[in-house]
Amino acid sequence: MKIKLIGIICVVLAAFVISCQSDEQVEFNRYFSAGSAVYQANCQNCHGAKGEGLQGLIPSLTDSVYLKSNKYQLACFVKNGLKGQIKISGKQFEGEMPPNDLSPVEIAQVLTYVTNSFGNKSATITIDQANADLAKCN
Binding residues for other proteins, rule: CB under 8 A, are 45-46, 48, 54-58, 96, 98
Q: Quick one: 47 or 125, whose CB is closer to other proteins?
A: 47
The angle subtended at Cα 72 by Cα 68 and Cα 73, nearest 5°, is: 100
Smallest distance from other proteins to CB 59, Å: 11
Q: Quick one: 17 or 54, whose CB is closer to other proteins?
A: 54
Smallest distance from other proteins to CB 118, Å: 15
Residue of 76, 68, 66 whose CA lies nearest to 133: 76
Residue of 133, 103, 96 whose CA lies nearest to 34: 103
Smallest distance from other proteins to CB 55, Å: 5
Q: Is 118 left (phi over 0), alpha (psi -120 to 50) or beta?
A: left
Q: Quick one: 28 or 52, whose CB is closer to other proteins?
A: 52
